Amino acid sequence: MNKYQEELQFDKPTKNAGELEKRFLKYHAENPNIYDALVDLARKSRRYRPDRVIGIQMLFEVLRWNYYTSVHTTEEYKFPNAFAAGYSRLIMKQEPDLKGIFRVAKSEFDAE
């Protein structure tokens, strides 16, 4: 088990989560800047609206917009929607000040 798997420690994943979780952990390990950017955005939200619960997908869209408007490259950068649930749970687990910030629905990352 690598350090990213230790960080994540989802409860018993559903039968379909195995491959998704592997893909998420690989993406997370290869793109630590995405986690950092999501945490920064979540903290900014918490500062301005401490009483609000937000959706992680909103932060994904902000990242997409920021990348689209500020990075000049021919490569396309991907923020896979399938990983949003993994990021929301990982952030709330790893960042005590952000516990409960995200609205979550049942996901493949959750126990059955």
The residue written with tokens 């500020």 in the block is 70
Q: What is the mean pLDDT of residues 93-107?
A: 90
- Which pTM value belongs to this model? 0.76
In this prediction, residue 36 carries a pLDDT of: 94
What length does the chain have? 112
Using the structure block, give the residue that is written with the tokens 């920021």. 66
12-29 pLDDT, tens digit per residue, is 444 555 788 888 888 888
What distance in Å separates the CA atoms of residue 75 and residue 12, rounded to the nearest whole number? 36
Q: Average pLDDT over the chain, rounded to whole?
A: 79
pLDDT of residue 72: 55
Q: Where are the domains of the chain?
A: 12-98
> Would the pLDDT of 6 be above 50?
no
Q: Is the pLDDT of residue 3 over 70?
A: no
Can you give the pLDDT at residue 25? 86
